[in-house]
Amino acid sequence: VMATRRAPIVTPDPPTDEMPLLGIDHIELYVGNAMQAAYYYAHAFGFREVAYAGLETGSRDRVSHVMQQGDVRLVLTGSLRPDGEVANHVARHGDAAKVIALTVPNAERAYRTAVSKGARAVHEPREIRDEHGTACLASIAAYGETIHTFVERDDYAGPHLPGFRRVDGGTDAGLFTAIDHIVGNVELGAMDEWVGFYERVMGFTEMLHFTDDDISTEYSALMSKVVSGGGGRVKFPINEPAEGLRKSQIEEYLEYHGGAGVQHIALETADIVGTVRKLRRRGVQFLRTPDTYYDELPERVTAVSDQVDELRAFGILADRDDEGYLLQIFTRPVGDRPTVFFEIIERHGARGFGAGNFKALFEAIEREQALRGNL
Ligand code: FE2
């Protein structure tokens, strides 16, 4: 970490880290039809299925397909019952992220630490085992109905977790390397509460923040702060709506999702142009970027000045900070409701989140919001 930066973007964890996090283990989505969602994530996004749990493995109330690409692991879970936790979650929120699972060296210790600092307990620590070994899980509440599950898997060698059987899902498309960040939308006035939760309970530090002066369009605005933990491996931007002339995109999310929840999952790629080309062919739909965005781009991000035509052709956005630049693009919502979507990001040194693109992005989102009659 250079000492000459204006402000530290990632603060190294102190040596006595009470909440050591090794990284994001997986994200579990509760969906209306896990079998068809697995097909979509395989064929549209290029994931391969690596594990499965359902009636055949002794799971009586839910079915889960575990999808892997690079270090990105998505668990798609559907209900086998007309009611219960999964069915009720899907009825209320639509297809949505339920669990942001964090790999830890000791799940019980992480859970006890979090609860002692004020986290709401969801699942007590529990050891589960099968022929591949033992794993320990424990869960606490996050924003909305989202939960964090601490996953301790040092002594587990199976394809996902005990109870899952291996699936030979072929090869993945090699488009993504890791989850870069996961963004939560929370209610008006709740952003600082959740930033405080991550600082106090999870030992995170605040990275950057943008105010609605930075991120406003004619019709809507938001506030956003970013917290980071696990030595910078885990990054959670938190958004809340701000006053705009019309309904903000965050309010639209909160209305259709039914409260706070995960807005987008950013997937890191080493080659965004090649990745977006392939994803488009596979049927993934992206937000469109106004053509005028590219007129100013060579001056704003000089590092990409010789790539502008290519970026324009795919609608890819660029931004820079003191340390480098990044390229990013956002998909349209991936379910029926105007809620959760994905970001694809390629970083070249920059550690920000594309604040310079927020305005261009929001204008693009609002064009779609207007088409839905929600602006
Ligand atoms: Fe993002």
314-351 residue pLDDT tens = 999 999 888 899 999 999 999 999 999 999 999 999 98
181 Cα to the center of ligand 1, angstroms: 7
293 Cα to the center of ligand 1, angstroms: 18
Token pair listed for 152: 């301790």
341 Cα to the center of ligand 1, angstroms: 10
305 Cα to the center of ligand 1, angstroms: 23
Sign of the torsion angle spanned by Cα atoms 57, 101, 239, 190: positive
312 Cα to the center of ligand 1, angstroms: 20
319 Cα to the center of ligand 1, angstroms: 12
Residue 7 pLDDT: 44
Tell me the sheet residues that pair with 51.
66, 166
37 Cα to the center of ligand 1, angstroms: 22
61 Cα to the center of ligand 1, angstroms: 34
206 Cα to the center of ligand 1, angstroms: 16
175 Cα to the center of ligand 1, angstroms: 17
Residue 280's pLDDT band, with cuts at 50, 70 and 90, is very high
331 Cα to the center of ligand 1, angstroms: 11
Residue 15 pLDDT: 47
263 Cα to the center of ligand 1, angstroms: 9
219 Cα to the center of ligand 1, angstroms: 21
205 Cα to the center of ligand 1, angstroms: 18
The per-residue pLDDT for range 77-102, each reduced to its tens digit, is: 999 999 999 999 999 999 999 999 99
243 Cα to the center of ligand 1, angstroms: 21
Angle (CA) 184 187 188, round 5°: 120
201 Cα to the center of ligand 1, angstroms: 23
357 Cα to the center of ligand 1, angstroms: 10
Report, as an integer, the average pLDDT of 262-276.
98
- Please, what is the end-to-end C-alpha distance for the chain in angstroms? 43
Residue 354 pLDDT: 83
29 Cα to the center of ligand 1, angstroms: 18
Provide the mean pLDDT of the chain: 90
Token pair listed for 222: 């938001």
Residue 4's pLDDT band, with cuts at 50, 70 and 90, is very low
Q: Indicate the SS3 state at residue 190.
A: coil
Residue 3 pLDDT: 34
Q: In whole angstroms, what is the distance from residue 344 CA to residue 286 CA?
A: 10
190 Cα to the center of ligand 1, angstroms: 19
333 Cα to the center of ligand 1, angstroms: 14
183 Cα to the center of ligand 1, angstroms: 6
- Residues in Cβ contact with 337 at an 8 Å cutoff, skipping those fewer than 6 apart: 94, 95, 256, 257
Residue 218's pLDDT band, with cuts at 50, 70 and 90, is low
355 Cα to the center of ligand 1, angstroms: 9
Tell me the sheet residues that pair with 5.
none
304 Cα to the center of ligand 1, angstroms: 20
Token pair listed for 306: 């010789």
62 Cα to the center of ligand 1, angstroms: 30
306 Cα to the center of ligand 1, angstroms: 25
Q: In whole angstroms, what is the distance from residue 263 CA to residue 358 CA?
A: 14
Enumerate the H helices of 2-143 as residue ranges: 34-43, 85-93, 107-116
Q: In whole angstroms, what is the distance from residue 273 CA to residue 294 CA?
A: 16
The per-residue pLDDT for range 169-180, each reduced to its tens digit, is: 889 999 999 999
Confidence (pTM)? 0.91
